[in-house]
Amino acid sequence: KAMDRFAKLVGRPYRLFDYVGAEDAEYVIVMMGSGADTAHETVEFLNATGEKIGLVKVRLYRPFDSAALIEALPKNVKVIAVLDRTKEPGAAGEPLYLDVQNAVMEAVADGRITRADMPVVVGGRYGLGSAEFNPGMVKSVIDNLKEDKPKNHFTVGIYDDLTHTSLPWDVDFSTQAASVHQAMFYGLGGDGTVGANKNSIKIIGKATDFYAQGFFVYDSKKSGSMTISHLRFSPDPIRSSYLIKEAEFLACHTFTFLERIDILKHLKQGGTFLLNSPYPPEEVWDQLPFDVQQGLIEKDAKFYILDAYSLAKSLGLGARINIIMQAAFFSISGVLPEEKAINMVEMAVEDTYGDKGKGVVDMNVKAANLALERVHKIPLPEKASSTIRMRQPVPDDAPEFVRMVTAEMIAARGAQIPTSLLPNDGKYPVGTTKYEKRNIALEIPVWDPEVCIQCNQCALVCPHATIRPKLYAASFANGNAPEAWQAVSARGRGFEELMYTLQVAPEDCTGCGTCVHICPAEAKDESGQKTGRKAIYMESQSPIREQEVAKWNYFLSIPDPDPGLFNRFTTKGSQFMRPLFEFSGACAGCGETPYIKLLTQLYGDHLVIANATGCSSIFGGNLPTTPYTSREDGRGPAWSNSLFEDNAEFGLGMRLTIDKLTGFARDLLGEMKLNGMTALGKEILQADTRTPEGIEEQRARVEELKDYLDKQPDAESRRLSSVADYLVPKSVWIVGGDGWAYDIGYGGLDHVLASGRNVKVLVLDTGVYSNTGGQASKATPRGAVAKFAAAGKGMPKKDLGAIAMSYGNIYVAQVAYGANMTQLVKAFQEAEAYDGPAIIIAYAHCIAHGINMTTAPDLHEQAEKSGFWPLFRFNPALSDEGKNPLQLDSKPPTGDIKEFAYHQNRFLSLRQADPERAEILLKALREDVAGRWKFYEQMANLDL
């Protein structure tokens, strides 16, 4: 009855179990969910060729009506395959399989089905982890049913070479109707391709009688990853719940993708290929890899190009090429008449960008119309002639796991990896981001050694650790150095005999330009006037890539300087330490990663990180590559991610475990008779390990102890050897964003800070749930627009620092690298040195703020000067010296909070939408800021 009522309301009739297929079907699939549409399409296709196949779609799973299922099955059914999209380890079978099997057995038991007519029931799994489920796989399930002994508990869609459960399938099998228009778009995360294609679906859906469908494939990188949009348009309902294999229209929005991905394998014979090319029509053919040229010729493709990036840049759109490429798609695809399509695009622009003002709308409309003039058709020669070859995903000398597994995922062939190659314990090697070489930057920084003052600020703010300084002996600047190698005498006490080089990793840089913006050194002309060009400046990546690659590789071959030459606890010195967090998948210009990178530079060799779920866990521990890496001796951060809300407790557990094992090791060492090694044992137990040098010395002693213990035959020696590494200190840091620290994980964080244990916390405060799309948190400031606060947040920002200080025994610091780098480094040093809990709250800008990510460090400075983000350090250790533990590192606020707020769309958009409310909330924010500063100032001036 409920199903009938639903049908009357929405016009879509459903039963508890819907059957489609031949009335006298002998082979039937039972399943539910979106995969049932793929099976439906395949069943209809095969039945049209004379097969007798059926499909039961489960519409209501619980409560499970066994009688209704039996009623839905055709009377002639001989074999049933039940498909579950889940795995139940330890169970006799998956849930739906067991329910169907039970329903059949009950029907036999009560006589509704005779024993002679009882169908065989087998079960299988599909689609786990979003694995593909296409018609070829459906057909393999049906083919299995026709076997004399159908395989039970099978899998389909993977290559299981361990337990051999997987069914083989025909990858070329297709059921696609000729009336379906298929298009694929390869874009770069953040360029607007996905959003534009969603708009295209709406446009075609409104302008035609076509049904429309879109699937969007991308990894968990925050931006800058490859996105693939799959669009279908058809006069008939679309049941193809799987990805496109052959498209009539194929677009590549990033030229460098052609070097590493076989894109043209998805182009249909005679199809259209649109390429966003930085090269003009007369040059583009010679810049294509040989395989791409050959593919275009063999496919007899219609080849078009458009320089979308240049057009977008000229119009002030930056890297947002979505409207330009969308207009080009409609212009040459033929899905809609060109004039009608452009009118629809203009309407979509108004709908999408209307709230950003008329200027933004006009720019995008102009871009759409100019795109039509810039599209060029390229004639295909008879033969491929390029000397350029597609790149291997990773070098031949990469470790075996990287070549066999990581490389396949980088090349978008991860679904083809057999199960035997995957780690059974979930551990993946570190330091693998260096193999990706994404080449996504259009421009990269270039160093001018004559202008550089060697401050290393550019390296500290670099979100991806792609620009690095190095001190080294003069001998390395000669001889084997690449032809274009640049070096200059190092500045600084003790550096007199050393050379200095600043080098960028050209294929890993994202081109954010933050390093150039932060650079304080400017070139001067002959009259001494500043020219505006800094010591680092942006140049087009493509012409200088190979030169810079050679320089980068040579840079890495030069040994890192001895840390004893400099003070790592300074802005300049910290950047001579190798970052053990590099080339992550964070957004270009990310405000979180510089803090994590600095943490690894200062303490990475003995660092243990408990990472809360959020942006920092996604770019910190996603597949296929890992940004955390190690030194040459294999030492580096140990990292793990637990449940979102439990991260603080997770980190405390790490601390307790390490402390327990350290105590156990010390007890064993103190009780053992070392036969001639007693002095070494005493040195280890009495060692001062409060400095990096002390830790390295202790590490050497422990290695000597382990060498001795490994030669001893007794169990006690083996026991001590197994825990001896815990005699070297470990630094435990709990890392997460404000969504975790202020909201969901706050209870646990408060518990951990109150425990008194020696744990350190780094809060990356963006003021929103950045990872899930910018929802408001308790860290969101009053007046800011965010998801769940569309009219501006009405409540003030939670003062996590003041709450932590109220305990009196917790080290607390509030930092912002764009405002005061010296204070930032000092805060890390003091937090680590403090024998107790410590928390650092870091200002982290984010794309969710609606800002220019290149100039974002300026906002740090504005945040501090306006009083929005006062810098301070609360060190309880100072109380023991009779000093006030709170040190304000900021001067009293100057200027108006308005200047800070209205440089960000999160505040500005409210003023445009509701000026009156914006003014009310701005006034309240001004009062929040003034009140908080007054509170801190009073605390800092108290006499103790």
DSSP string, 759-775: -EEEEEE-SEEGGGT-E
pLDDT recorded at residue 352: 77
What kind of architecture, by CATH, is found in domain 767-940? 3-Layer(aba) Sandwich (3.40)
pLDDT tier, 257 (very low <50, low <70, confident <90, very high otherwise): very high
Q: Is the pLDDT of residue 944 over 80?
A: no
pLDDT tier, 220 (very low <50, low <70, confident <90, very high otherwise): confident
What kind of architecture, by CATH, is found in domain 440-577? 2-Layer Sandwich (3.30)
Task: Give the chain's mean pLDDT.
Answer: 95
pLDDT recorded at residue 577: 98
Residues 173-210 have pLDDT tens digits of 999 999 999 999 999 988 889 999 999 999 888 888 99
Report the alpha-carbon distance of residue 558 to residue 565 in Å, rounded: 16
pLDDT recorded at residue 349: 84
- Measured in Å, how far apart are the chain's first and last C-alpha atoms? 76
Supply angle C-alpha 628, 633, 638, rounded to 5: 35
Residues 298-356 have pLDDT tens digits of 999 999 999 999 999 999 888 889 999 999 999 898 888 878 888 888 888 887 777 67
Residues 83-128 have pLDDT tens digits of 999 999 999 999 999 999 999 999 999 999 999 999 999 999 999 9
Residues 273-296 have pLDDT tens digits of 999 999 999 999 999 999 999 999
What kind of architecture, by CATH, is found in domain 2-167? 3-Layer(aba) Sandwich (3.40)
Report the alpha-carbon distance of residue 488 to residue 491 in Å, rounded: 9
Distance of CA 727 to the CA centre of its chain: 36
pLDDT more than 90, % of the chain = 88
SS in 3 state form for 323-350? HHHHHHHHHHHCCCCHHHHHHHHHHHHH
SS3 832: helix
Residue intervals of the chain classified under CATH 3.40.50.920 are 2-167
Q: Are strands 17-21 and 226-234 parallel, antiparallel or unpaired?
A: unpaired
pLDDT average, residue stretch 710-734:
96
Buried b (16+ CB within 10 A) or exposed e, 766-805: bbbbbbeebbbbbbbbbbbbbeebeebbeebbbbbbebbb
Bridge partners for 142 per DSSP: none
> Which residues, 6 or more positions from 696, have their beta carbon under 8 angstroms from its beta carbon?
none
pLDDT recorded at residue 486: 97
Residues 421-468 have pLDDT tens digits of 999 888 889 999 999 999 999 999 999 999 999 999 999 999 999 999
- Which amino acid is present at 122? V
User: What letter does residue 628 receive in the DSSP assignment?
Assistant: B
pLDDT average, residue stretch 365-380:
93
> Which residues, 6 or more positions from 560, have their beta carbon under 8 angstroms from its beta carbon?
470, 576, 577, 578
What kind of architecture, by CATH, is found in domain 181-378? 3-Layer(aba) Sandwich (3.40)
pLDDT tier, 386 (very low <50, low <70, confident <90, very high otherwise): very high
pLDDT recorded at residue 436: 93
Query: Is the CB of residue 312 less than 8 Å from the CB of residue 186?
Result: no
Residues 37-65 have pLDDT tens digits of 999 999 999 999 999 999 999 999 999 99
Question: How do the residues of the chain divide into helix, strand and coil, expressed in percent and rounded to 5?
Answer: 40, 15, 40
Residue intervals of the chain classified under CATH 3.40.50.970 are 767-940
pLDDT recorded at residue 2: 87
pLDDT recorded at residue 339: 81
Query: Is the CB of residue 514 less than 8 Å from the CB of residue 462?
Result: yes
DSSP annotation string for 210-245: -EEEEEEEE-S-SSSSEEEEEEEEESS-----S--S
pLDDT average, residue stretch 356-382:
89
Residues 580-629 have pLDDT tens digits of 999 999 999 999 999 999 999 999 999 999 999 999 999 998 889 999 99
pLDDT average, residue stretch 393-410:
94
Query: Is the CB of residue 217 less than 8 Å from the CB of residue 230?
Result: yes
Query: Is the CB of residue 736 less than 8 Å from the CB of residue 616?
Result: yes
pLDDT tier, 822 (very low <50, low <70, confident <90, very high otherwise): very high
pLDDT recorded at residue 511: 96
Report the alpha-carbon distance of residue 659 to residue 729 in Å, rounded: 9
Count of Cβ atoms closer than 10 Å to residue 171 Cβ: 11
Q: Is the pLDDT of residue 223 over 90?
A: no
pLDDT recorded at residue 675: 75
* CATH code for the structural domain at 392-429: 4.10.780
SS3 141: helix
pLDDT tier, 129 (very low <50, low <70, confident <90, very high otherwise): confident
pLDDT more than 70, % of the chain = 100
Report the alpha-carbon distance of residue 580 to residue 636 in Å, rounded: 7
pLDDT recorded at residue 355: 67
Helical ranges in 672-760 per DSSP H: 678-686, 692-709, 715-723, 738, 746-754
Residues 762-815 have pLDDT tens digits of 999 999 999 999 999 999 999 999 999 999 999 999 999 999 999 999 999 999
